[in-house]
């Protein structure tokens, strides 16, 4: 064990800090370490700095991880804690995902002071979201609603809802649970109605490839079931060249060594939606995810993804 504190890199939002403190607590418990053996280092990312534009306009996945990964490569921190839905499918050379914590609730939470369900909302009502996926899913299910941009952390978005900027919004159940704010959920949306983002509800820990000491330190925290499911989802996303500019939902589930993944991709305006499902042995998680992606590409036609790229 090193003499100085292990540095845990994270964003500074309340949710990101809650996740980093959870990792710290688990490490202390697993290794019978003291509080001062671990230091949480807050790093402001591009996604945190850009508040005046939709993220889809300024880049793909990685906006909430870029500066943290740079600090990791510069050895300013020893490990990085991420919400897996924010992590790009291609990591910088020299970095790898070492651990996945047990996954939280994967569902989206419908939140509204006036309506219990999306289907209850009257035509013309406003849904606030900064997620291209959620916006496309809403436009597919309820083209009569108005989707408005809704940036900010959990607390900011709930305040906007309270102020009447929108009539309803969606947040991840996992984030609300981790913040002790489950009481804010009006209705948890079944994944059969609304597939979550790839990696939603999962916390991943990124380290340098050459850090065997850190890898060994983190080993007891890894949840193999979560790791296999997220691996399949990320293979699916990578094959689709998915970013935050492409509305994609995906969820893998594991039971008795058998993995099933469901996925969908939509046009941003919600007029096109392609979905599918693949199953197989858990050991083939990557192949199953890739095959599902190819199924959707075949259904949509070879020009679908290119049309989305040309439109952005």
The 3-class secondary structure across 229-241, one letter per residue, is HHHHHHHHHHHCC
Residue with tokens 């508040």: 51
Q: How is residue 102 annotated by DSSP?
A: P
Residues 64 and 213: their CA atoms lie apart, in Å, by 26
Question: Which residues are catalytic, by number?
Answer: 86
d(Cα 70, Cα 44) in Å, to the nearest integer?
Answer: 12
Let me know: does 157 contact 128? Beta carbons within 8 Å: yes
In this structure, what token pair is assigned to residue 108? 């989206």
Specify which residues 265 forms β-bridges with. 248, 274
| Tokens coding 143 | 């083209």
Closest of 55, 58, 68 to residue 11, by C-alpha: 68
Tokens 């300013």 sit on residue: 76
CA dist., res. 179 & res. 16, Å (int): 10
| 186 DSSP 8-state letter | S
Question: What is the rounded distance in angstroms from the CA atom of residue 143 to the CA atom of residue 73?
Answer: 45
Locate 56 and state its tokens: 């889809």
């Amino acid at each position: 064990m090193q003499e100085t504190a292990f540095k845990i890199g994270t964003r500074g939002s309340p949710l990101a800090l809650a996740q980093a403190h959870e990792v710290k607590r688990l490490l202390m418990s697993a290794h019978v370490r003291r509080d001062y053996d671990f230091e949480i280092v807050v790093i402001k990312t591009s996604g945190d700095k850009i508040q005046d534009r939709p993220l889809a306009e300024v880049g793909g996945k990685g906006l909430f991880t870029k500066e943290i990964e740079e600090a990791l490569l510069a050895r300013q921190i020893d490990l990085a804690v991420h919400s897996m839905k924010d992590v790009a499918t291609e990591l910088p050379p020299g970095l790898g995902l070492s651990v996945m914590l047990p996954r939280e609730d994967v569902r989206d939470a419908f939140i509204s002071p006036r309506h219990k369900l999306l289907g209850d909302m009257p035509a013309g009502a406003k849904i606030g979201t900064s997620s291209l996926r959620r916006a496309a899913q809403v436009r597919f299910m309820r083209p009569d609603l108005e989707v408005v941009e809704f940036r900010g952390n959990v607390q900011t978005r709930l305040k906007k809802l309270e102020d009447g900027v929108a009539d309803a919004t969606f947040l991840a159940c996992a984030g609300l649970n981790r913040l002790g704010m489950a009481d804010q959920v009006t209705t948890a949306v079944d994944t059969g109605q609304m597939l979550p983002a790839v990696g939603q509800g999962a916390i991943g820990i990124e380290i340098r490839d050459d850090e065997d000491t850190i890898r060994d330190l983190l080993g007891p925290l890894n949840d193999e079931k979560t790791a296999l499911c997220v691996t399949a989802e990320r293979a699916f996303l990578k094959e689709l060249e998915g970013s935050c500019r492409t509305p994609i939902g995906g969820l893998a589930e594991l039971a008795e060594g058998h993995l099933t993944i469901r996925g969908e991709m939509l046009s941003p305006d919600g007029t096109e939606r392609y979905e599918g499902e693949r199953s197989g042995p858990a050991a083939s998680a990557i192949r199953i995810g890739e095959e599902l992606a190819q199924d959707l590409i075949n259904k949509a036609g070879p020009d679908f993804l290119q049309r989305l790229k040309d439109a952005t």
